[in-house]
Structure formats: structure tokens, C-alpha cells
Amino acid sequence: MMPTLKTAAAFLLLLAATPSLARGPDDQYVPGPDSRPQAGVPKGTITKHVWDKSKVFPGTTRDYWVYVPAQYKKGKAAAVFVCQDGIMYDAPTVFDNLIHKKEMPVTIGIFIKPGNLVEKARRGEPAAKPRSNRSVEYDSLGDAYSKFLLTEILPEVAKTHTLTDKPDGRCIAGNSSGAICAFTVCWERPDEFRKCFSTIGSFTNIRGGNKYPEMILRAPKKPIRIYQQDGAKDLVNQFGSWAEANKAMAEAFKKKGYDHQFVFGEGSHSARHGTMLFPDAMRWMWRDYPKN
């Protein structure tokens, strides 16, 4: 039976009166003006590159992008921002706006995709499709990814741009598995990276990330600054609860007296809340770093 106009109108009224039926938990998170291009703000440049010479993750190939702000001066060391999973959080536009307003330092952004393993075809057989190395690189504990950055990617970018070698001038960020990867880099090498932006971090038992709260509590406090986000409707699966794991991380940071901020919202396993927070997170992260 076809619905009558009266029935359809009643349903639309019910839908409008019940936003939860029409909207998801992440729809409330809308980026502000700092995430949009603004008149009179100089734009940085973005160039795409390929890295297929890795010795840390042999056999992988990946794309990465380098953002250079308009205010960058050759020969003058710039702050560094590294992000997993490529360009996220509307970061280049946010950087354009915040650097222009001197709310963060002149910063070169390096946005890196996870590697793909490309296997050579056997004689007479078709080539296999590339296999993602993301979980191995991002979810694993230990110093492999920090070695990859410090011995491969940063030296490659430094061939053409002057990057700071000060750990307080280096920030690393990521979403989901990219977030635990970012924290692992700071945890393993606080002498090189001391700022971490983590959204919906996978601090669960994918590859042992659930051990971090206990590790944080047992180890001497490290000089790391962490901005952390998660949501009440984040994932729950065989690896654990993302929301509870992030709460455990936040509690460990609090007990140890870390320079830490935790924003817990209502969202799901989505980057939307983190993207909305990103400009304020960058202001907080760089609040005491020289802006010029």
C-alpha cells in the first residue's frame, strides 16, 4: 500500500522532531572558520612524493605529501608536523590560518600514507595486488616507525627544506591506528618528538597497545605533551573498547602528571570530532613555542 500524503507528512514531522533518527553522533562536530580558507591569508604549497626505498619496512612503497607554508624562509629551521594516513584534519588550511595569525610557528607538514607491500609476480602468474602494511607499521609497539621517520623520511625532506632538530619543535599526529603510532614515536623517542595529537586512538589489544596505561604508570615521566580525543560511541570489538582504552590512557597521564588534555565526546570511530578540535589543539600544543 502506498503511503498517503498525510502519513508521509506525519513521518517527516516525526523525523524533524527526533534528530537522532536523521543525524549520526558525529554530525554535531562541524569545523569552524580556522578550518576554511580565509581571504587575505597566504596559502602554503603541497607537493606529492613517493618513498619506495625503505630499509626499515623493506619492500614497501608509499605516497607522502609535504606542506610548506608561505612564511617559510629557506635556511631558517621550521617546526615539523608529521601525520599518519596522509593529509587529515584539514591541516594545510588550518596551518595557513594559524601561522598567518602567529598562533603557531612556521611549520612544515609531512603527511605519510602507510606502506603497501608489492610482491614480484612469479613467472607465468599474475602479479599479486599490493598488501597494506598499515597495522604492522602503526599498531606495533617498539621503535621501528620512529626509525623509519628519523632515518628515512625526515632526512629526505631535509634535503630540500630546513627542519628543526629540537624535539619540542616536532609534533606527530594520527587517527585510530595512526594515533597509537604517533604516541609510540613520542614514547620511544622523546629526545626527537615531544608533541602528540591523538584522535580515536587504537590503544587496544590489536598488537599490544592495551599495555600502554600500565607502562605509563611504571615508567619515569617523559617530557611528552599529549592532546587526546575519543567518543562514547567508538568501537567495541574483539580487540577491546576504544572508549575505555582511551579513558585508561587519560587516567594514566593524569596520575603521572603529564602535560595532557583529553576531550571525550559522543562520537563514533570517526575523525570528525578531531578535525573540529584540530585548530584549538594546535594552539594548545604550540602555546609556549616561539612563533617566529
Residue 215 pLDDT level (bands cut at 50, 70, 90): very high
Higher-confidence position of 120 and 35: 35
Question: Average pLDDT, stretch 3-31?
Answer: 64
What is the pTM assigned to this prediction?
0.91
Q: What is the dihedral of CA 140, 144, 148, 151, to 10 degrees?
A: 160
Q: What is the pLDDT of residues 67-113, one digit of tens each?
A: 999 999 999 999 999 999 999 999 999 999 999 999 999 999 999 99
The domain ranges of the chain are: 44-120+128-285
| pLDDT value at 269 more than 90 | yes
Average model confidence (pLDDT) for the chain?
Answer: 93
Q: What is the pLDDT of residues 221-235, one digit of tens each?
A: 999 999 999 999 999
CA angle 87, 93, 98 (to 5 degrees): 120
Using alpha carbons only, how large is the chain's radius of gyration in Å?
21
| pLDDT value at 126 more than 80 | no
Place of cell 568501537: 235
3-state secondary structure labels for all residues of the chain: CCCCHHHHHHHHHHHHHCHHHHCCCCCCCCCCHHHCCCCCCCCCEEEEEEECCCCCCCCEEEEEEEEECCCCCCCCCEEEEEEECCCCCCHHHHHHHHHHCCCCCCEEEEEECCCEECCCCCCCCCCCCCEECHHHHHHCCCCHHHHHHHHHHHHHHHCCCCECCCHHHEEEEEECHHHHHHHHHHHHCCCCCCEEEEECCCCCCCCCHHHHHHHHHHCCCCCCEEEEEEECCCCEECCEEHHHHHHHHHHHHHHHCCEEEEEEECCCCCCHHHHHHHHHHHHHHCCCCCCC
Q: What is the pLDDT of residues 238-259, one digit of tens each?
A: 999 999 999 999 999 999 999 9
- Bridge partners (DSSP) of residue 174 are 198
Q: What is the pLDDT of residues 73-82, one digit of tens each?
A: 999 999 999 9
Q: What is the dihedral of CA 153, 106, 225, 244, to 10 degrees?
A: -70
Residue 291 pLDDT level (bands cut at 50, 70, 90): confident
| CATH class name, domain 44-120+128-285 | alpha beta
Could you tell me the sign of the dihedral formed by the alpha carbons of 269, 231, 239, 278, in that order?
positive
Q: What is the pLDDT of residues 26-51, one digit of tens each?
A: 999 999 999 999 999 999 999 999 99
Euclidean distance between CA atoms 34 and 36, whole angstroms? 6
